[in-house]
Amino acid sequence: MSREERRAGVALAAIFGLRMLGLFLILPVFAVFAKTFPGGSDALMVGIALGAYGATQALFQIAYGMASDRWGRKPVIVVGLLIFAAGSFLAAAAPDIHWLIAGRVLQGMGAISAAVTALAADLTREQHRTKVMAMIGSTIGLVFAVSLISAPVLFAAVGMGGIFTLTGALALVAIVMLAKVVPEPPPLPAEIVKPPFNKVLFHGQLARLNFGVLALHLMQTAMWVLVPPVLVTAGLPLAEHWKIYLPAVLASFAVMVPVIIVAEKRGLLKPAFVSAILLLILVQVGLAVAVSDVYVIGVLLMLFFVGFNLMEALQPSLISRLAPPAAKGAAMGVYNTTQSIGVAVGGLVGGWLLKHFGAAAVHYFCVALSTVWLALAATMTPPVRRTSS
């Protein structure tokens, strides 16, 4: 990677990390906080407050991606971060659950993921793009692990209002980093014509990847309906779950990074892609039959994060390579929208299956879904390998 590519990758990963840290810090403590908040005794309202962000983000990803194709990546990202910061400050000052929901809705309207990943694609050569996507994906995973440890400490020190205020401040810091550190993307050649949106939406190869990210995040969300209670039942108190999550995430990075490097260098992206899906299937089978030992669960979670982080790097990289050059933002918007739908549906499906059929049914549903994904991936045409800019 060139100096400029490393600079772009580190800066964009940091921008993603700053934004996601604020969101992740809320998750481990929100349910506790809600019980002390006006209107927070209504479980439905608490669920709406948690899910409102994802719902509005799903609605706005495509619009932001298409806007970045037309008006440029950086201006769209700045607008999104400002809206996200405004929503954070509104949530911090909310007097009751209804205003808090309004703040979460506004946060979700700052849906910059598509524009940021499109900018990452603009600033990197194809043979190094998966590495940059891996940097971004790894940062998100690491930030999630850090939030599990630090959220209870911050909540005790500054309360939920302080966490929301910190979230807004981090978004403003991300704007400064975008302006000062991230290089300007090169302009598109004048002869490149932007295709109609339906050519992006119904593109056969892109549709395979969109289904994949929906399946991946549906599976992840459904798992988190199960894993924390299973760990408690296995004898690990909730406050100590980070002792499983953090080593699993860190160990997965140590395995995932060499795989990415070798796959890029030797043109083995499709075999790595298919192998990651197979690994995810095996993990789900393992979790269905081996749910009583904390250490076994820890190993299976590490393997899950290996597959998950590989996909978080490979899929956006492939989207950026297969999408029409003048519609990368739109393609990333569709991709991120289906990701958000997967998160939302995963919680519903996981909860319903757990309630009516038990934990094993959730895992076997994920196996069935991943098998369909595997069949689609096996028929995918990989992009032509390039070794120069």
If you write DSSP's letter for every residue of 120-134 in order, what string do you get?
A: HHHTS-HHHHHHHHH
* Structure tokens that stand for 356 in this block: 């009516």
Is residue 188 domain-resident? no
Shared domain check, 232 and 315: yes
Is residue 84 domain-resident? yes
- Considering 204-218, 258-272, 303-317, the range whose residues carry the highest mean pLDDT is 204-218
Q: In one letter, which amino acid is 304? A: F
Q: Which residue has the tokens 């990847």?
A: 209
Domain final position from 127, 151, 181: 181
Shared domain check, 332 and 228: yes
Domain final position from 127, 150, 181: 181
Handedness of CA 202, 20, 311, 138 (dihedral sign): positive
Is residue 153 domain-resident? yes
- Kindly report, residue by residue over 184-208, the tens digit of the pLDDT: 877 766 556 667 777 777 888 888 9
Shared domain check, 147 and 207: no
Shared domain check, 219 and 169: no
Cα angle value 255/28/235 (rounded, 5°): 70
* Percent share of the chain, pLDDT over 70: 90
Is residue 8 domain-resident? yes
Is residue 72 domain-resident? yes
Is residue 187 domain-resident? no
The whole-number pLDDT of residue 66 equals 83
Residue 388 pLDDT more than 50? no
* Structure tokens that stand for 31 in this block: 């349910």
Shared domain check, 224 and 172: no
Weakest mean pLDDT among 170-184, 200-214, 232-246, 259-273: 232-246
Separation CA 99–CA 91 (nearest Å): 7
Shared domain check, 306 and 211: yes
Range of the structural domain that residue 13 is part of: 1-181
- Considering 140-149, 208-217, 239-248, 282-291, the range whose residues carry the highest mean pLDDT is 208-217
Shared domain check, 214 and 125: no
Separation CA 297–CA 283 (nearest Å): 10
Within 10 angstroms of residue 39's Cβ, the number of other Cβ atoms is: 17
Helix (H, G, I), strand (E, B) or coil at 386: coil
Radius of gyration of the chain (CA): 20
Name the DSSP class of 193: P
CATH of the domain at 111: 1.20.1250.20
CA-based nearest residue to 88, from 99, 111, 104? 104
Q: How high does pLDDT run on average in the chain?
A: 81
Is residue 388 domain-resident? no
Model confidence pTM above 0.85: no
CA-based nearest residue to 305, from 350, 263, 265, 259? 259
- Kindly report, residue by residue over 91-137, the tens digit of the pLDDT: 899 888 889 889 988 988 888 888 888 888 788 877 677 777 777 77
Separation CA 251–CA 329 (nearest Å): 32
Helix (H, G, I), strand (E, B) or coil at 316: helix
* Structure tokens that stand for 294 in this block: 């904390």
Number of domain units in the chain: 2
Shared domain check, 304 and 173: no
